């Protein structure tokens, strides 16, 4: 059983997530003595986590109540999703409110691995221009990544296989960096602020150019002994994918085209789509019954087909399981932005001692921008 959080951490979370408070309000909320609350707030102030607000003198005699606020503007945390088509960057304040969102072109056509990594660094620096000090960074990329941020293997960016991306970005950005697989981080995001909130056992299936999986078990992302948990596309769906796990289509160039032609009544695409859903549901059923999750979330590019995919897939999955209960299957809520939000979550989670100056601080409730436009 993990140790109970300290009074200082509990006070910091109260200020961060619920807003400013007096010493008396903190003591009452945390059910501790006023002296304990005062000591905790003094420690937070000394660490730069909390600041005492300047209040006007009361009209009647007496000293005004000392009121404290979480110093959300004291630094930033950045999440980055490196993909074939784009590099997405989110910048948040220390309370998890996204303050900047940028999307840059992909890097796969830039030649060697060094040029690709340099381009990523330039994207991040451009997104951070004018922001307060960056405290921590989370990086999502397509590949198998070890705990130190070294890429073990990547089909999408093969030039990075064996490269210690975490260390290189740490040196370039001047802050601690956490690196993980993109589909796993998409699952983290859907669990933290998407369709899987409050669900501690879920499977996230990304269906796009290829099929991959992210697992949340007992509330935590499953990495596996070899960091390869979820790399299942070519193994679980061999009739749908090529040797690298990429989806292949016969009646059209892409999956989106197949869905569009099937909706228009083209027999060949309708037949291929029916076969696709049949094989996809069978593979998902096998994966799902391995861990018996509370929810299966479908993300990736083809999830944008919405009910044209989700409804028949849900029906087929129920038929495959064949038990007196149905697995909950739903569309991902965060879409293409899932992995970059997951990168932000993992930066707060793994690097809390740097992002919050307090080890053990829980991840804040990430608040995305109100619209989907890139900020300037």
Q: Are 207 and 178 in the same domain?
A: no
Asked if the model's pLDDT at residue 14 lies above 90, the reply is yes
Q: Is residue 128 part of a domain?
A: yes
Which residues, in sequence order, are CB contacts of 257 under 8 Å at separation 6+? 249, 269
**51 and 143 inside one domain:** no
Q: Residue 221 in contact with residue 183, Cβ under 8 Å?
A: no
**How many percent of the chain have pLDDT more than 90?**
76
Higher pLDDT, 327 or 249: 249
Residue 93 lies in a domain: yes
- Examine the domain organization and report whether 340 and 327 are in the same domain: no
CATH of the domain at 13: 1.10.10.10
Residue 374, pLDDT above cutoff 70: no
Same domain, 27 and 56: yes
Would you say residue 361 lies in a domain? no
- Domain span including residue 40: 7-70
**Number of compact structural domains in the chain:** 3
- CATH assignment at residue 223: 3.30.420.40
Residues 200 and 281 in one domain: yes
pTM of the predicted structure, to 2 decimals: 0.91
Is 122 within a domain?
Answer: yes
- Dihedral of alpha carbons 240, 246, 250, 253, sign: positive
In a domain, 367, yes or no: no
pLDDT above 70 for 63: no
Q: Which two tokens stand for residue 100?
A: 């900047």
Instruction: Using a pLDDT cut of 70, give the percent of the chain over it.
Output: 94
Same domain, 88 and 177: yes
Instruction: Give pLDDT tens digits for 192-209.
Output: 999 999 899 999 999 998
**Same domain, yes or no, for 210 and 297?**
yes
Domain-ending residue, one of 54, 70, 86: 70
**Model confidence pLDDT, tens digit, residues 86-114:** 999 999 999 999 999 999 999 888 878 99
| Same domain for 99 and 53 | no
Query: How is residue 204 written in tokens?
Result: 């996230």
As a whole number of angstroms, the distance between CA 228 and CA 90 comes to 26
Residue 366, both tokens: 């990430």
pLDDT at 1: 46
321 with 341, same domain: the answer is no
Q: Does a structural domain hold residue 215? A: yes
State whether 147 and 210 are in the same domain.
Answer: no
Please write the tens of the pLDDT for every residue from 300-320: 999 999 999 999 999 999 999
Query: Is the residue at 100 inside a domain?
Result: yes
Please tell me the predicted confidence (pLDDT) of residue 359. Answer: 82
> Cα dihedral sign for 92, 97, 100, 103?
positive
Mean pLDDT over the full length of the chain: 91
In a domain, 139, yes or no: yes
Q: Are residues 327 and 343 in the same domain?
A: no
Kindly state whether residues 234 and 309 are assigned to the same domain.
Answer: yes
Block residue for tokens 């690196």: 179
307 CB burial (10 A radius; 0-12, 13-18, 19+) = exposed
Token output for 93: 């304040």
């Amino acid at each position: 059983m993990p140790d109970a959080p300290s009074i200082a951490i509990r006070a910091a979370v109260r200020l961060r997530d619920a807003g400013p408070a007096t010493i008396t309000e903190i003591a009452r909320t945390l059910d501790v003595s006023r002296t304990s609350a005062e000591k905790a707030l003094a420690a937070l102030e000394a660490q730069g986590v909390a600041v005492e607000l300047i209040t006007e003198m009361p009209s009647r005699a007496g000293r005004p109540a000392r009121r404290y606020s979480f110093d959300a503007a004291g630094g930033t945390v950045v999440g980055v999703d490196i993909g074939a088509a784009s590099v997405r960057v989110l910048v948040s304040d220390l309370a998890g409110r996204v303050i900047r969102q940028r999307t840059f072109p992909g890097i796969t056509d830039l030649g060697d691995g060094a040029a690709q990594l340099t381009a990523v660094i330039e994207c991040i620096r451009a997104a951070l221009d004018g922001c307060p000090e960056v405290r921590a960074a989370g990086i999502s990329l397509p590949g198998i990544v070890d705990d130190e941020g070294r890429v073990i293997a990547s089909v999408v960016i093969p030039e990075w296989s064996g490269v210690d991306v975490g260390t290189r970005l740490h040196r370039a950005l001047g802050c601690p960096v956490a690196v993980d697989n993109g589909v796993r981080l998409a699952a983290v995001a859907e669990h933290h602020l998407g369709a899987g909130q409050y669900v501690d056992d879920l499977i996230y299936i990304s269906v796009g150019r290829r099929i991959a999986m992210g697992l949340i078990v007992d509330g935590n992302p499953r990495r596996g002994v070899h960091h390869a948990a979820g790399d299942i596309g070519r193994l679980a769906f061999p009739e749908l994918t090529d040797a690298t796990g990429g989806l292949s289509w016969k009646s059209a160039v892409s999956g989106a085209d197949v869905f569009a032609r099937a909706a228009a009544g083209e027999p060949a695409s309708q037949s291929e789509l029916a076969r696709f859903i049949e094989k996809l549901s069978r593979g998902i059923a096998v994966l799902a019954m391995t861990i018996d999750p509370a929810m299966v979330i479908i993300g990736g590019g083809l999830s944008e087909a919405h009910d044209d995919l989700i409804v028949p897939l849900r029906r087929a999955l129920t038929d495959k399981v064949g038990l007196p209960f149905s697995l909950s299957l739903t569309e991902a809520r965060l879409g293409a932005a899932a992995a970059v939000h997951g990168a932000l979550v993992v930066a707060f989670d793994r690097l809390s001692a740097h992002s919050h100056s307090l080890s053990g601080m829980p991840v804040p409730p990430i608040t995305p921008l109100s619209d989907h436009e890139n900020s300037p």
